[in-house]
Structure 1
Amino acid sequence: MRLVQLTVPTGKRETILATLDDRGIDYVVTDEDSKREYTAVVYFPLPSPAVEAVLDELQEAGIDEDAYTVVVDAETVVSRKFEALREEYENGDVESDRISRQELQAEAESLTPTFAVYSIMTIISAVVATAGLLLDSPAVVVGSMVIAPLIGPALGASVGTVIDDEELFLESALYQIVGIVLSIAAAAVFAWTVRITNVVPPGLEIAQVDEISERLAPDLLSLVIALGAGVAGIISIATGTSVALVGVMIAAALIPPAAAAGIAIAWGQPSAAIGSTALVLVNVLSVNLAGLVTLWYAGYRPENLFSVGPTEERVRRRVVGLALIVAVFALFLGAITYSSFVTSTFEENARGEVERTLDEDEFVQYQLLEFEVVMDDDYPFRGPERVLITIGGPGEDPDPALARTLHERINQHAADTVGVEVRFVGLVER
């Protein structure tokens, strides 16, 4: 429910009040004696779905943007006429649940802070995310998402497109570009600083840190996060519900991958930053794509009817363009996913070969103690480089035939030759 406060321009009082009467809207009028160009202020409650239609009709009656129109939340309205008005507009579909176009535009603009604040908060969130990744601490990484101011620009571009506000679109697009650059640069500078000052262990291998490695070689499922964040973000802002948690979800799709890319650059491994940078870009584009489609489906259109056709064409072009770019990135992520699948299959088959070999009568005296597949550094399409096998058995040295057999059988499952290193631990029977 909304309470609308409207200043009535000189000469428009009767027309505006007649419009409200025709729609069965209760209102209160107070005379304006400030000797300005307004003669009165009218107050009236509306169901949320009625705001856009009523304000559009009042604008046609002579209310322009120079007049003051304030729309605020109303907790309770007790009125039979209001209940009838609610039944007229609230029919349970998507369009009846959404806020007005005017409120949507104001909400999108309010979610984007000033450029200075946005830049500072983005840098801080990237630095905190970098620290969390280096510490391998999911809690710290989540904390970085909470302070990231990304939801406004991420949703503002979609809102600006569907309501034909190119200024909002361009500003939001610029903010998103700046946000990506700042977050990666801030992460790289901070990671380089802690590295050269030995705040982290000198021999730290970033590929061995789970929170980092999973973002250096992202898979196709990562795309679902961004699409879900885009749809959820638009639904939350369009229905007037809280956007705080959705903002965290959007930040989850952008800040940690950007921090991982910065860490890879700081560690002198630019190839390792390819996957995480691609993930950041595809997530940004996916959020915008999901937002555009959701807003248009929800029924948002430009205020000027003559702009609906050009705007629809613009939305169609941007949706198609974004979808094509996302599809290209999706193929890239799909290739990474397939590479990970091949590697996992190899690891499973290699372990199976070792276990079957040790079950044979010739090598039954040995037992498998440890098994590890060491990956190469060819990011983002990493593959097995060597297999480390630790076995235990009687004596001081294993049967030489065991190492040859394991090497041959394991490499049957590898596209390229993989080194097989067998380590032996002598076991003493008691």
Structure 2
Amino acid sequence: MLHLRIIAPTDRSTAVVDMLSADPAVTHVIVLPGAARSPRGDVVLCDVVREGADEVLAALRTLGVDKSGGVVGDGVDITLSASADRAARAAPGLGTDAVVWDEIAQKTGEETRLSATYLLLLTLATVIAGIAVLLDQPILIIGAMVVGPEFGPLAALSVALVRWRRQVVRRSVLALGVGFPIAIALTVLSTWALDGAGLIDKSMLLAERPVTDFIWRPDALSWVVGFLAGVAGMLSVTSNRSGSLVGVLISVTTVPAAANVAVALAYGVFPEAVGSVVQLLINLCAIVVAGVLTLLVQRLWWERVTARWSGAIRVGRFRLAPRRAAVAETEAAAPDRTAG
């Protein structure tokens, strides 16, 4: 469930409240007339189940609230409400399967900025992975996977390609296209510095490395792993269950490959560097393709789910599925079985 805080201009406040009140996926509607000061207007608070959030947000955009007022949404962790239960039953599908496009666009769009923090995290992850490659240490590889922030731009690129947001596509490609070369270059310098300090040497790279040797030997499984990681990562984002595990899942196919490129370049082992570059490109492409296909399948599947609730009726300028309304009316009219 999402909690929405809406600032509606006074001349549109009634239309907003009517729309929210008519939608059975919305509950806990509160109106605070004239409470907003910047921008000025009425404050409307409500909760909406995730299954119906896209329709509500689209209706608010149709009313122009996003331009002359504002809409802020937050996730709701705890809900003790019979009204909220009725809203969930009146909406199609399950909340974990629903894709709230504005939510994922906002969430992933924030990760496309080529910020100093992003570059620092990516560089630190690559340096750690570079040391892990030389030591053939899986524990350090895992540490690098946790630190790596690169799934943000990859997820944003997938969402932007599906919705065709060219500006976000450009920002995502810039974050990846500039971030990885900078991280690799700085990892080359760190490798030379550690070598100069006598902590590492070229023989460590040329030695047998059974744990990390696969990084610079791309094959069909490289694509499979990257693709599966992309599917898992995108599902976690759209279901609002992303966490550190997603970073681990995704980074295993990207940061270690970039680190191996840097270490191989530092020691002039160019065949290994080329293999690592191929591995990195395969993984990046596989993750983006998987993300795009996952979003397309989710969208098509959700359209099929909502089609069962089709034959919409009009409520003012908006359309509501009659089954949603019918279920809501039935639930409201039913006697409270918990009473007494």
Aligning the two structures, in what range does the TM-score lie when normalised by the shorter sequence?
0.7 to 0.9
* Contiguous gaps of at least 5 residues in structure 1: 301-430
Deviations 1:314-370 (A, max 9, x none): xxxxxxxxxxxxxxxxxxxxxxxxxxxxxxxxxxxxxxxxxxxxxxxxxxxxxxxxx
The answer to whether the aligner puts 1:246 opposite 2:246 as a matched pair is yes
1:196 Cα shift? 4.2
Deviations 1:177-198 (A, max 9, x none): 1232123323322223333443
The residue that corresponds to 1:170 in the other structure is 170
The answer to whether the aligner puts 1:234 opposite 2:221 as a matched pair is no
Alpha-carbon separation, structure 1, partners of 2:271 and 2:203: 19
Closer/same/farther in 2, CA of residues 36 and 262 from structure 1, 3 Å limit:
closer
Pick the structure with greater CA Rg: 1
The residue that corresponds to 2:34 in the other structure is 32
Structure 2 counterparts to residues 102-181 of structure 1, below 5 A: 102-112=102-112, 115-181=115-181
The residue that corresponds to 1:68 in the other structure is 70
Alpha-carbon separation, structure 2, partners of 1:112 and 1:258: 19
Judge conservation of contact 2:7–2:39 (CA < 8 Å) in 1: no
Q: How many residues align?
A: 298
Alpha-carbon separation, structure 2, partners of 1:37 and 1:134: 57
Which residue identity does 2:64 align to in structure 1?
Answer: G
The residue that corresponds to 1:41 in the other structure is 43
Alpha-carbon separation, structure 2, partners of 1:133 and 1:264: 10
The residue that corresponds to 1:326 in the other structure is none
**TM-score w.r.t. length of structure 1:** 0.65
1:222 Cα shift? 1.9
1:77 Cα shift? 3.2
The residue that corresponds to 2:200 in the other structure is 200
Deviations 1:195-217 (A, max 9, x none): 34432256445242334432222
1:65 Cα shift? 3.5
Alpha-carbon separation, structure 1, partners of 2:278 and 2:38: 56
Judge conservation of contact 1:112–1:149 (CA < 8 Å) in 2: no
Deviations 1:234-291 (A, max 9, x none): 1111010023211122111011111112222122121221111100001011111111
Structure with larger RCO (C-alpha < 8 A, sep 6+): 2
The residue that corresponds to 2:319 in the other structure is none
Alpha-carbon separation, structure 1, partners of 2:85 and 2:49: 9
Closer/same/farther in 2, CA of residues 36 and 200 from structure 1, 3 Å limit:
closer
Structure 2 counterparts to residues 7-406 of structure 1, below 5 A: 7-24=7-24, 25-26=26-27, 27-33=29-35, 38-92=40-94, 97-112=97-112, 115-201=115-201, 203-204=203-204, 206-299=206-299
Judge conservation of contact 2:41–2:69 (CA < 8 Å) in 1: no
RMSD: 2.2
Closer/same/farther in 2, CA of residues 66 and 116 from structure 1, 3 Å limit:
farther
1:40 Cα shift? 1.1
Please state whether the residue corresponding to 2:253 is helix, strand or coil: helix
Please state whether the residue corresponding to 1:240 is helix, strand or coil: coil
Alpha-carbon separation, structure 2, partners of 1:68 and 1:209: 56
